[in-house]
Amino acid sequence: MAIVVLCAGTLCLGLASAFLLYEITQQEQYYAKELYPVQQRLEQRNDRIERAKLKADRIRAGLTSRIAWPALLVCLADTKPPDVAVQGLTADKDKLCLHLTSTKIASVQTWLRQLKKTEYFSQVHIGNVQKKEKARLEMQLYLGFGNADDTNGKTETASIHKK
């Protein structure tokens, strides 16, 4: 009788082992067929996202170390009072000089206060004010940048003036 119980127990263990092996094999096949491709796509997508984040960080770092000219010029145009005329500008690595004419110094001072509130300029001041004919004033508006690139002492200047 003990031998029969022992044989029956061994047979049950054998059947349980075979069933477990069958289930493991089924799970492996399901993973290989269904889940592994999904995992590969997710890993590829995560790699692309990571590369895009790194690229965005590099671009963002580059933008903060350079002057954003389009945004800066739009800011100047949007805030400029109508009775102030820009006759020209001179740009350097860390400053911008606007050559202005106006009949009202108060308008220029209002513009100066508005520009001081923007994120683009670390310094804003007026210089070389000269009174011309018919109460017309000529002056220069100096705008300094707080985030200009270091050019190792080299100066690059560009000028634009109305004729």
72-109: pLDDT as tens digits: 888 888 888 998 888 988 887 778 888 988 888 888 88
- Name the more confident of 162 and 113: 113
Q: Give the model confidence (pLDDT) of 13-42 as tens digits.
A: 888 899 999 999 999 999 999 999 999 999
Q: In the 3-class helix/strand/coil scheme, how is 93-128 assigned residue by residue?
A: CCEEEEEEEECCHHHHHHHHHHHHCCCCCCEEEEEE
- In this structure, what DSSP letter does residue 66 have? S
Q: How far apart are CA 38 and CA 35, in angstroms?
A: 5
124 near 117, Cβ under 8 Å?
no
